[in-house]
Amino acid sequence: MTVNESGGSPAPASRSRRRRRDAEENSTRILDAARQVFAAQGVATSIEVVAEHSGLGLGTIYRHFANKEALVNELARQLLEAAVDLAERHVASGEDALRQYLWDVAELLGSQPGIIRTIWNFPGSETLTARSRTAQAGLLRRAQEAGSVRGDLVPEDVAVALFAVTGILDIGRAAAASGWQRHLEAVLIGWGTSGPGLRHAPLTAADMDDIISGSGI
């Protein structure tokens, strides 16, 4: 598990007492349990199951998260954040790391099936997705400079490739792993500089905005 961070509850007003240590820990206990349960059985699983799995009471969950949606969103936030960190780290490396980035994110996303569906579109995701796009653009430019991918690719192409991976991951658990790898491999060859040009126009930034802020079905 690579994802983790802060808690779910709002920080206590600076004055007054400090947050109890058990409460602090329970926050992460809940998130961990939720991550596992949702990864294994899907987000449709009831909160009660999460409670059992975490060894805490139902009421406790609701003390830490306003409602189920808030819990799921926090998980999505953390996952997306981890993905963005990854991207930025690869950009910072200065290397031509587009390929490695794709592999790493795919792996990361694969660790959390059941949540991936929601990460592109939860309230407050805008900041993170913006960072993600910037980083992806950086990785792409670098790869283009290095001559490993064609010049007419745009950052949106990278995002779309991730959507595609999501689709593969979302279907079969165990067997899916080798599936996305080989698929991405083909995509990367297709993105190479040697092949014929791509005839279909890429998504525009505006399309992308539309996608990541449309009221997801």
Partner DNA sequence: CAGTAACCGGAAACTGGTTTCCGCTTAATA
Partner DNA sequence: TATTAAGCGGAAACCAGTTTCCGGTTACTG
CB 140 within 8 A of CB 149: yes
- The item of DNA, a copy of itself, none sharing an interface with residue 87, based on CB under 5 to 8 Å by kind, is none
Q: What's the full length of the chain, in residues? A: 217
Contact characters 35-54, DNA, x per CB under 7 A: -----------xxx------
Determine how many CB atoms are found less than 10 A away from the CB of residue 214.
10
Q: By CB neighbour count within 10 A (0-12 exposed, 13-18 middle, 19+ buried), where does 8 fall?
A: buried
Measuring CA to CA, how many Å separate 111 from each of 41, 182, 207?
13, 18, 28
- List the one residue from 14, 17, 174, 196 that touches DNA (CB under 7 A): 17
Supply 152's token pair. 């007419």
- List the one residue from 12, 19, 42, 69 that touches a copy of itself (CB under 8 A): 42
- The item of DNA, a copy of itself, none sharing an interface with residue 152, based on CB under 5 to 8 Å by kind, is none
69 belongs to the binding site for DNA (CB under 7 A): yes
78 belongs to the binding site for DNA (CB under 7 A): no
132 belongs to the binding site for DNA (CB under 7 A): no
174 belongs to the binding site for a copy of itself (CB under 8 A): yes
